[in-house]
Amino acid sequence: MDESVREAFREDGAVLIEDCLEEGQLARCREAFDWAVANPGPHAATMFDGTERRSHVDNANPLAKERLDAMVSSLPFGELFAGLWGSEHVWYFAEEVFLKTGGRSARSCWHQDTAYLPWAGEHWGNAWISFQHVPKRNSLEVVRGSHRGVQYDGTTFDLDDPTEPLHGGGVLPRLPDIDAELAAGRDTHDVPYDVLSWAVDPGDVLVLHPRSLHGGAGVDAGCPDRHTLVLRFFGDDAAFRPLPTVNERYARDGILFVEEMAKLAPGDPFRSPVFRQLL
């Protein structure tokens, strides 16, 4: 792996790996995506439900776990993340599915995944796999270097208040209204955030550190559909970091793999036999 790719991920928190997946590998990912949409799990949700801007999201579907554990072993992500992080070992965590259709689905609010998941450490990575050409204006957006900055509270994904705290109680700083600040900065020629985004083609993989501030652009007439499978991985430098206890739904362990998370103490290496080891 070229050192510039490692440096981009280390410093920026995100990097695009072009032509990462071969045709057959991408086809297996597409099959897994289509199955997941047709067979939603207990964590599936419709964001912005009841509006024309709705989109489908699913996380760590236990019905899909066996097939996805098998699939990831046939993909290049073990070697990719080992090289990216400098980690001897790589484990697969779980998937996330995004389905935006009809040219109307809204952008996803800015957030950090680590406000929702009990994760700490350098060796975390989300592999974003989209199945259409996605123009830059419709692609994932990342605040450069934010994975090394403040850990903010999460958002409830309320379109009327994109910074409404997930946990509340002042336990974590409230999210800034990044879109509003960017708009104001463009008017004054003083843009307060360095936002990264890439046009993505099928076979490309956008790799993101989940502590990065990121948001997904919406779809429009020029890019009416965006089908994205996200596969999440961790390595040697991954630890358990309990979540705040203010929000009962997410208290300490989050909502995924709750039984396994309950066995970990703060600072423990993030390990469990439930997660498929790739290297």
Rounded to whole angstroms, how far apart are CA atoms 166 and 197? 26
User: What was the pLDDT predicted at 50?
Assistant: 67
Indicate the angle between helix axes 65-72 and 23-38, nearest 10 degrees: 170
Residue 188 confidence (pLDDT): 83
Contact between 129 and 26 (Cβ < 8 Å)? yes
* b/e code 160-193 from CB counts within 10 Å (16+ = b): eebbbbbbeeeebeebbebbeebeeeeeeeeeeb
The 3-state secondary structure of 77-109 reads HHHHHHHHHCCCCEEEEEEEEEEECCCCCCCCC
Tokens at residue 72, please?
Answer: 């990831």
For 53, which DSSP code? Answer: T
Confidence at residue 180, expressed as pLDDT on a 0 to 100 scale:
93
Query: Looking at residue 216, what is its pLDDT?
Result: 82
Q: Half-sphere exposure (CA, 13 Å, Cβ side) for 197? A: 15
Give the pLDDT confidence of 182-212 residue by residue, as tens digits.
Answer: 999 988 888 899 999 999 999 999 999 999 9
For the chain, 279 residues long, give each residue's pLDDT as a single digit of tens: 899 999 999 999 999 999 999 999 999 999 999 999 999 999 998 877 666 667 899 999 999 999 999 999 999 999 999 999 999 999 999 999 999 988 888 788 999 999 999 999 999 999 999 999 999 999 999 999 999 999 999 999 988 899 999 999 999 999 999 999 999 998 888 889 999 999 999 999 999 999 999 998 789 999 999 999 999 999 999 999 999 999 999 999 999 999 999 999 999 999 999 999 999
Give the number of other CB atoms < 10 A from CB of residue 146. 25
The radius of gyration of the chain's CA atoms, rounded to the nearest angstrom, is 18
- As a whole number of angstroms, the distance between CA 162 and CA 140 comes to 17
DSSP three-state, residue 198 = coil
Q: How far separated are the first and last CA of the chain, in Å rounded?
A: 17
User: Would you say 111 and 215 are in contact if contact means Cβ atoms under 8 Å apart?
Assistant: yes
Residue 239's H or E segment, with its range, is strand 239-240
Q: Which of 206, 152, 197, 171 is nearest to 9 (CA)?
A: 206
pLDDT in tens, 217-233: 789 999 999 999 999 99
